[in-house]
Structure 1
Amino acid sequence: MNPVVGLDIAKGESHVQMLLDKKMPYKNSVKVNHTVEVLEEVHAYLLDLELQTGMKPPIVLEATGHYQDG
């Protein structure tokens, strides 16, 4: 398996999609409010994805704003 996590970061909320492998979503896409409780839940999902696949998934950010090379 080749797990990966995609993050689309916005000002008030972000969106997270985790994949076990190509075209194999792990859970549904999640809208993430920027609160400690919700971020702890996302962290738990990341740990579970790592447990399921035996690999730490790379995290891919959308290349915009502060994250864009330029």
Structure 2
Amino acid sequence: MNPVVGLDVAKGESQVQMFLDKKMPYKNSVKIEHTERNATHFSQRFIKAFSSV
């Protein structure tokens, strides 16, 4: 397994997609507005999601 995180960064928001391996997405992509609260929430979700895999 080679987990990867894809980020599409734009002004004001980003799209995030996590993959377990090539062509194997992990759940759906997520839209994140650029705020400190959302950055903290995303990092916590990211760690939790990949810790259980």
Flag whether TM exceeds 0.5 (same fold). Answer: yes
CA-atom RMSD in angstroms: 1.4
Higher share in strand: 2
**Greater RCO, CA 8 A, separation 6+:** 1
Which ranges of 4 or more aligned residues in structure 1 deviate by more than 2 Å?
A: none
Corresponding residue pairs, total: 53
Give the TM-score taking structure 1 as reference length. Answer: 0.64
Instruction: Give ranges in structure 2 of 5+ residues lacking alignment.
Output: none
Bigger Rg, structure 1 or 2: 1
- Of all paired residues, the percent bearing the same amino acid is 57
Give the TM-score taking structure 2 as reference length. Answer: 0.80
Instruction: Give ranges in structure 1 of 5+ residues lacking alignment.
Output: 54-70
